[in-house]
Every structure is written in structure tokens, then in C-alpha cells.
Amino acid sequence: MTQLEELKTLLAEISDLTAVSQLVSWDKETQMPKGGAASRANQLSTLARLLHQKNTSSEIKNLLTALEPELGNKDSLDGALIRLLRLEFERRSKLPTDFVADFAKARSEAGTVWEASRHQNNWAAFLPHLEKMFSMARRSADYYGYDSHPYDALLWDYDPGLKTADIKQIFADVRTFTVPLLERIVAAGEKVDYSVLTRSFPLEAQRAFSLEVAQAFGYDLQHGRLDVTAHPFATNFSKDDVRITTRFDEHYFPMAFYGVLHEAGHAMYEQNTADELRRTPLARGAWSTAHESQSRLWENLVGRSSGFWQHWFHLAQKHFPQALHDVDAATMYKLVNRVKPSLIRVEADELTYNLHIMLRFELELAIFEDKLKVSELPEAWNAKMQEYLGVTPPDYASGVMQDIHWSAGLFAYFPTYSLGNILSVQLFNKASSQMGDLNAMFARGEYQPLLHWLTHAVLRHGKTYLPPELIQKATGEPLSAKYYLAYLEQKFSGIYGL
């Protein structure tokens, strides 16, 4: 066995163990009885310890040292594997094994408490767990090290090379554009009766219709499934087993439907990575901005397009004959693209969505900069909601406790949602320039050409390239918000007659 083969054997074992850990986590969110929470936290802690030990072992270190001179500069999959592995090995080696295990246990415990506390609107019960999450995240940043901001150290997990200062500038540009456009839309007034979407949409019909559309997009249910959770997510154990979740509300159709399309976008990314990346770090998901570009692309640019509803509306009427009996496709297009400041991020429209993200980003920064205490989050959250969106949450559940991310220790993740919005349009425009009128394809129910283009340009590569390299290769230029802002202006000016 060559040294490269020996390394790949070790990485395959790590990949399998990672899949087991993710399967255990998926079960915790979907199937596990509530009484199993304490035992599950211990199990996840043990798995995290074993994975950290394997990922930072002397065997991997020695093999990297031997292989880097030969492969580290080669433009090949093996070269990309060695480069990525070196980056991840050095980063992981900075964290003590006991700390990694403790963090995994604390995340599991916090997630269990968050779900119960959110349901009960009990901030006091969740607060100590959230304080622990922020504290452990800050310790992670200190272990990793950083030049100018602890947030930079956390960003690396989701988008290597991205800096806090970069996000501040991008968000400032998006905010400067968004606020005046939002004011013009509000002044234009409502165009249709939006209460249609709050009529009765039977849950089984919602599930059937959502999965029918997701499969038409390209989500393969022979290698996936849909389950119900407190907060939607996608997870994969290999490209052959990629699962999604959502949550249903009989009287709010967009929540589950667009949740399924969003998570299906993530899932199709994983299902379409190249076969030769299997059981290596290159295959386990791409970077977060690229990943979110896919979920937002299929959710918004496809699923909220006029062409989409031209094709699917008559089928939607068959699934929901009572709710949609007096509506047509053109009206449905306006309904699902309503712009209205709201409380819940995952239900926000395309225009105001980024304001929800900016709010979370700024609160995270304030805590890591010691300008805000975790206990002060509810008041700070409500103040920013009023400032940015003109609404104030009536309770914790629809305010500071609405997202699962902080209980899972996913700090510095939120900005990648907005960056994913920006990249989604940049990719869509590039695809359109090469393929022609995509909206006309959607009106014919044709989605495979777009998925094929995305697979070739982005999905198949997995983590072969770092984010700036991947974006440059796919679009021919660095990440730019200009296409996204032009898209928002054109779309909503048309819908609201601006």
C-alpha cells in the first residue's frame, strides 16, 4: 500500500465515523424519544472525541509530511486533498480533545433545551445553555487564533478567507439598497389578497406536492427522505443518503413548501458531488456560501419564478382545490413574492430576508466584542427588529429563540445565508448567459438543464476549491452583489408596478 493509499484508507474510516455521528444527530432531531436526550449527549460527545483523535492523529500528520512535497502543488484531486487536509489538520490540532468532546455534549444538551424552551416560550431556562454556547465558541476562537477579530476565526469553518470587515462592507451596500426599495414597495401598497396563503392547506397534500416538486427539480428520493423537525435542515451520510426535514403549518402554505425546496437545494448539492470524492474530506459538503447559494437558488430563483407557477399552478389546485379555487397562476406568483416585514427569518420575503441576517450578525459581533451580554439579547433583538423591519416580537419564541443555530454552536454561520443569496443570482445569471431563457424552461417544467449546468460548474467539485477559487471558476469573476441588487430591483419593480 502506498502512502497515499494509506492516507485515503484512514480518511475513509473518518468519513464513515462522521456519517455515524451525523446519523445519530439526525435521529436526535427526528425520531429519538425525549427521554433519550441525556444518553444521546454522551454518545455524541464520545463520537466527537474519537473523530478529533483520528483527525489529529500522528499517522495523518506523518503521511501529510511525506506527501506534501510530492502532491501539495499539483493541480489534481490528490493535490487538492492534501492541501485541504493540511489546512484542516492544522486547524483541528489547535483544539484540545477534551474541549471538542465537551462542546459536542453541550451542543446536544443546548439543542434539547432550546426545543422545549422555545415551545414553552421560556427564555430563562434556555439562557444558561446559550451563555455556555457563546463562551465555548469564544474559547474556540482563542484556540484557533486570529489577527484582528475573534469572529474571523469562527468564519473559517464556513467560508475560509472571509473576514468580518468584508461582511460589514457587503451588508452596508445591501442595506443601502434595500431600505429605499422597501419604502417604495410599502408606499405602492398591497396588490392581492394575501390571506389566500393562510387558508386550509391539508398537511398530507402539502407533503405530497412539496415532494413532487422537489423530485422534479432533481432531489432523488431513492437516496433521500423527508421528515418533520422543529427547525428545517438537510444532512448527508454519503451522496447515497441525503435527508431533509421541514415543519408544517396547515394555515401557512409557504412555510413547509419553500422549506422543502430550500433543503432540497442543499440535498441536491450533496447528491451531485463527483463519485471520485467519496469518503474523503473533499466530498463532505462544500463551503457554506456555495451551499446556501443552491438552497436559495432553488427556493427563490426557481420556486418563486413566474415560469414555475405557470407550470405548477394547475397541479397545486388539484392538491388544494378549496384553498386555490378562486386564484390563478399570475396571482399565485404575486402571493408567494409578497414583500412585508415579518418576525420569522425562514418565512421572510427575498427583500427583507437579509435584514434578518444582518441583525443576527450584528448581535453576534456585539457579544464577541463584549459590547453585549447574552442575557441582554432579547431586548437588543427586539430593538433591532423594530429599527430594521418595523416589527417587534411579542414573545421569545418568535424573537430571539426562533433559530436553532445558536443552540448548535453555529456562530458566524448566518452571514453565509446572505452571501448565498448574492452568489445564487451571480450563478443564475452566468447559467442564463449560456443556456438562454431559464424562466421559459421552468414554464415547461424543465429543470434538469439547470441542474446539469450547476453540477458541472459547482456541485461536482465539493471542497476541491476554496470559496474564492470556486466562485471565480464558476462565474468568471469574484463574488459581486451587483447582479443580486439588480435582480431585486427588476423583480419587485415588476410585481409592485414601481
Query: Which residues form the catalytic set?
Result: 263
CB of 295 within 8 A of CB of 265? yes
What single string gives the DSSP state of each residue in 239-293? TTEEEEEE---TT-HHHHHHHHHHHHHHHHHHHTS-GGGTTSTTTS---HHHHHH
CB of 349 within 8 A of CB of 178? no
The SS3 of residue 55 is helix
Instruction: Give dist(CA 251, CA 195) in Å, integer.
Output: 10
How many degrees, rounded to 5, is the angle at CA 405 between CA 463 and CA 218?
50
Instruction: Give dist(CA 191, CA 207) in Å, integer.
Output: 28
How many degrees, rounded to 5, is the angle at CA 410 between CA 397 and CA 127?
45
Instruction: Give dist(CA 409, CA 103) in Å, integer.
Output: 8
Instruction: Give dist(CA 197, CA 185) in Å, integer.
Output: 20
CB of 71 within 8 A of CB of 79? yes
How many degrees, rounded to 5, is the angle at CA 119 between CA 116 and CA 122?
75
How many degrees, rounded to 5, is the angle at CA 345 between CA 262 and CA 214?
15
Instruction: Give dist(CA 153, CA 91) in Å, integer.
Output: 10
Distances from the Cα of 88 to the Cα of 144, 157, 365, angstroms: 11, 9, 25
